[in-house]
């Protein structure tokens, strides 16, 4: 009797017709195939969490059926990387002129916050604020920090309004700080300025409360402690 598992052209025809059962696979071959499938599934399962470098390193391990999905994830990772690079292109306090205003401020881009300082050299408070803004620019690289000499940005802008800070989001002004009194003079600290900008939405501060309030509380406490103690009315009468 002919072996139904024998590899012959006639047996193949009979298997296709359903007359003979499918050819039995040796146990070792079955185990090898199962192990290969499990390994492949394990690799495919992890490519969603792979970086661009890891995708390239394991490129040869994926099957043809996964190429489309893997390419989609590769493009996704690439887009995320580009977005991250764009978000961190700032980090410095840059100088602009009136000609740069539209491009740098009005057309800054979607979701971009812009802090613009109008100043003039020789005004101490303007110099102090530029120093603070340089520090904040490094701390908050997602926000665009700009400075401009007032009269080059806005013709005939009065010096009495300096320093001036304008805060924009997607081309629209969200806050403005005009004149030295608003900033509290030369006692202005970097934390106080950070808090002001955070209130406008320009930065996300890690400060838990307004630093100015702490200073005010300390001043009030100091005044109370230094005030002379008044004697009771009875003691005054005795004297």
Digit-coded pLDDT (tens) for 197-208: 999 999 999 998
Burial (CB count within 10 angstroms: exposed 0-12, middle 13-18, buried 19+), residue 125: middle
The answer to the question of residue 16 being in a domain is no
pTM of the model as a whole: 0.57
pLDDT at 219: 44
The answer to the question of residue 179 being in a domain is yes
The answer to the question of residue 196 being in a domain is yes
The answer to the question of residue 238 being in a domain is no
The answer to the question of residue 74 being in a domain is no
Q: Give the structural domain span for 105.
A: 94-218
User: CA 231, 233, 238: angle at the middle one, nearest 5?
Assistant: 90
- Positive or negative: CA dihedral 151, 153, 155, 156: negative
Chain mean pLDDT for the chain: 78
In percent, how much of the chain has pLDDT > 70?
Answer: 59
The answer to the question of residue 182 being in a domain is yes
d(CA 165, CA 200): 11
CATH number at residue 100: 3.40.30.10
- Positive or negative: CA dihedral 97, 103, 106, 111: negative
The answer to the question of residue 129 being in a domain is yes
pLDDT in tens, 9-57: 776 777 776 776 776 655 555 666 666 655 555 444 455 566 666 666 6
103: Cα separation from own chain's centroid: 22
The answer to the question of residue 58 being in a domain is no
Q: In angstroms, how far apart are the furthest CA atoms of the chain? A: 137
35 compared with 224, residue with greater pLDDT:
35
Mean local confidence (pLDDT), 58-63: 64
Q: Domain count of the chain? A: 1
């Amino acid at each position: 009797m002919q072996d139904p598992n024998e590899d012959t052209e006639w047996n193949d025809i009979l298997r296709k017709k359903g007359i003979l059962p499918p050819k039995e696979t040796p146990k070792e071959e079955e185990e090898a195939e199962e192990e290969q499938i499990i390994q492949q599934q394990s690799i495919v399962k992890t490519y969603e969490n792979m970086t661009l470098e890891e995708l390239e390193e394991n490129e040869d391990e994926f099957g043809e059926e996964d190429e489309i999905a893997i390419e989609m994830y590769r493009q996704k990772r690439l887009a995320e990387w580009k977005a991250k690079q764009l978000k961190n292109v700032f980090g410095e306090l840059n100088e602009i002129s009136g000609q740069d205003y539209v491009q740098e401020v009005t057309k800054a881009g979607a979701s971009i916050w812009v802090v613009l300082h109008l100043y003039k050299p020789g005004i101490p408070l303007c110099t102090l604020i530029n120093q603070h803004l340089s520090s904040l620019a490094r701390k908050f690289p997602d926000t665009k920090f700009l400075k401009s000499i007032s009269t080059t940005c806005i013709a005939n802008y009065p010096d009495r309004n300096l320093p001036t800070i304008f805060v924009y989001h997607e081309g629209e002004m969200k806050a403005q700080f005009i004149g030295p009194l608003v900033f509290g003079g030369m006692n202005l600290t970097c934390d106080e300025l950070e808090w002001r900008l955070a209130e406008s939405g320009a930065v996300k501060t890690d400060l838990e409360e307004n630093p100015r309030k702490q200073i005010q509380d300390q001043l009030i406490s100091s005044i109370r402690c230094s005030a002379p103690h008044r004697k009771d009315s009875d003691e005054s009468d005795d004297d």
